[in-house]
Amino acid sequence: MVSTDTSTAEPVTHSEWIRARREAVTAPQGALSLVLTNWSPAGEPPVEESVARQGHPASALFTRLERTDIETGLPQHAYRIWRQDSPANLAFEDIERYPYDPAWVLEGRFELVDEQRVVPFEHIRDAGATRGLPVSGDLVFDLDGTEYRLSAFDTVYGGTAKLQLVFGDLTNGSETYGAGRFLFLDRPAESRDLRPGDSVALTIDFNRATVPPCGFSNQMNCPLPPAQNRLPFALRAGEKRVRFADGFSL
């Protein structure tokens, strides 16, 4: 398995990323600020904002979202309330993480699949049901002579096209967040016409593995790692878990 070197100095860019992560989760619309996600029954109209805001201060943020109901296929509307004075934000102390380790910066590739593939992902608040997410290719890397092939789905994060990896490893539940972790990677620019099975080189920096939003708020509904994304080793890099003040729990 990878030999780690915790004595290596942390790059400035990684230190900046850590600061940006803290700013993001504590922001007015950061995960710690989410106090309510309310879904209307499938096929019903959205709740009026004035009704949704009842009991919350004027400073609270109000947003909407929509999805397809798993059982009926009908559109389902929801609203969210965000408050920077949320109990989680007030109790937040830090995101615990492993020391930066260059051994976990791996050179891999993004390999296109032979068709538009949809992979079923179970979500933490869906009671075992799955939602299909588009996976246009695999993240492939070699570690200690073994090739690993993981499904990463297409998403937009921070206004940029990304690949989102939802993965698990042997640290989950003991050292890291129990439901697994996320890793966002820039979707590689395709400088040439690619056919199914072709690949593009890609650097996979597991030092930037993150605790998913559901580790900051119990109102988030995070995807869980599918079977093919559960690594059979301890990946000691990136964020571990959220640390709150004594006595607080989500």
Return the number of other C-beta atoms located less than 10 Å from residue 160's C-beta. 10
Nearby residues of 245 by Cβ (< 8 Å), 6 or more positions away? 91, 92, 93
Rounded CA separation 62/99 (Å): 37
Q: In whole angstroms, what is the distance from residue 219 CA to residue 214 CA?
A: 7
In 74-138, alpha helices (H): 87-91
Tally the residues of the chain: 250
DSSP helix/strand/coil, 141: strand
* pLDDT for 114: 66
pTM: 0.90
**The pLDDT value given to residue 79:** 98
Q: What is the pLDDT along the chain (250 residues), one digit of tens a residue?
A: 454 444 467 888 999 999 999 999 999 999 999 999 999 999 999 999 999 999 999 999 999 999 999 899 999 999 999 999 999 999 999 999 999 999 999 999 999 876 677 888 899 888 888 888 888 789 999 999 999 999 988 888 777 888 999 999 999 999 999 999 999 998 776 655 667 677 889 999 999 999 999 999 999 999 999 999 999 999 999 999 999 999 999 9
Please state the separation of Cα 247 from the chain's center in Å: 26
The CA-CA-CA angle for residues 90, 182, 102, to 5°, reads: 105
Q: Give the C-alpha separation, 213 to 221, whole Å.
A: 8
SS3 197: coil
pLDDT of residue 4: 46
